[in-house]
């Protein structure tokens, strides 16, 4: 099963990945990183199909997708 990981310290909560994911896997989380951003979390991880669109659109290379 594909797996998506977010490097919380690299995320600035722009939400590009959230709106791009076709399966609504990602969401802004509750916790803050050290810069004060509510970083993205895999809220619905089982729905990930490993398309990598989230990783491609992230301007901060904060997302890694494992097939």
Residues in contact with ligand SF4 by CB under 6 A are 4, 6, 11-17, 20-21, 23, 25-26, 40, 48-54, 57-58, 60, 62-63, 65
On whether the CB atoms of residues 63 and 54 are closer than 8 A, the answer is yes
On whether the CB atoms of residues 23 and 48 are closer than 8 A, the answer is yes
CB-wise, 32 or 50, nearer to ligand SF4?
50
CB-wise, 13 or 31, nearer to ligand SF4?
13
Instruction: Please name every residue paired with 35 in a beta bridge, in sequence order, or none if there are none.
Output: none
Helix (H) or strand (E) holding 57: helix 53-57
Q: Shortest distance, CB of residue 41 to ligand SF4, whole angstroms?
A: 10
């Amino acid at each position: 099963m594909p797996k998506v990981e977010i490097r919380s310290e690299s995320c600035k909560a722009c939400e590009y990945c959230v709106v791009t994911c076709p399966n609504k896997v990602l969401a802004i989380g509750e916790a803050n990183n050290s810069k004060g951003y509510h970083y993205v979390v895999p809220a619905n991880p089982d729905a990930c199909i490993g398309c990598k669109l989230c990783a491609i659109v992230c301007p901060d290379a904060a997302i890694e997708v494992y097939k």
